């Protein structure tokens, strides 16, 4: 899809300097992808009991001291 985007002159010059004129679209797409597709954390963080466990943490009934 093609669209027109107005970029500030200082940002344009920095993109040109770092990536060249031929890679403007690729650079802008990478920046937008990183911004919009990053994982967002909620304000409370993750509780320790919600973390993923691996198979070494799982015990059988026989391993427990009942």
Distance CA 21, CA 12 (A): 9
Residue range 17-42: mean pLDDT, rounded: 85
Residue 12 has pLDDT above 90, yes or no: yes
Per the model's pLDDT, the better-predicted residue between 6 and 53 turns out to be 6
Distance CA 32, CA 63 (A): 51
Per the model's pLDDT, the better-predicted residue between 50 and 20 turns out to be 20
Distance CA 38, CA 22 (A): 26
Distance CA 29, CA 24 (A): 9
Among 50, 9, 7, smallest CA distance to 31 is for 7
């Amino acid at each position: 899809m093609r669209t027109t985007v107005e970029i500030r002159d200082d940002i344009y010059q920095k993109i040109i300097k770092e990536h060249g004129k031929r890679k403007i679209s690729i650079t802008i797409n990478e920046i937008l992808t990183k911004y919009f597709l990053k994982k967002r954390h909620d304000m409370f963080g993750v509780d320790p009991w919600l973390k993923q466990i691996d198979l070494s943490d799982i015990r059988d009934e026989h391993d427990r001291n009942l």
